Chain A
Amino acid sequence: MAKIIIPTPLRKFTNSQSSFESQSETVRAVVQDLVDSNPSLGPQILDDKGNIRSFIRIFVGEEDINVLDGAQTAVTAGSVISIVPAIAGGSF
Chain B
Amino acid sequence: MHKISISPEARELMIKDGKDTFPNECCGFFYGQDGEVREITLAKEVINSKEGDQRRRFEISPLAYMKAEQYALENNLTLLGVYHSHPNHPAVPSVHDLAKAMPYFSYIIVSVMEGEFNVLRSWRLNEEKGEFEEETIF
Residues of B contacting A86 in the complex (Cβ-Cβ under 8 angstroms):
59, 100
Q: Give how many A-B residue pairs fall within 8 Å (CB-CB).
A: 85
Min CB distance A36 to B, Å, is: 21
Min CB distance A40 to B, Å, is: 12
Query: Residues of A within 8 Å of B, CB-based: how many?
Result: 22
Query: Residues of B within 8 Å of A, CB-based: how many?
Result: 39
Q: How far is the CA of A92 from the CA of B93 in the complex (A)?
A: 9
A8-B72, A8-B79 known; A87 vs B100 contact (CB < 8 Å):
yes
Q: Say yes or no for A35: interface residue by CB 8 A criterion.
A: no
Main secondary structure of the interface of A (DSSP, over half): mixed
Q: Say yes or no for A38: interface residue by CB 8 A criterion.
A: no
The stretch among A21-29, A46-54, A57-65, A71-79 that forms the contact with chain B is A57-65
Q: Say yes or no for A18: interface residue by CB 8 A criterion.
A: yes
Question: Quick check: A9 and B102 within 8 Å, CB to CB?
Answer: yes
Q: Which residue of B lies closest to A82 (CB)?
A: B66
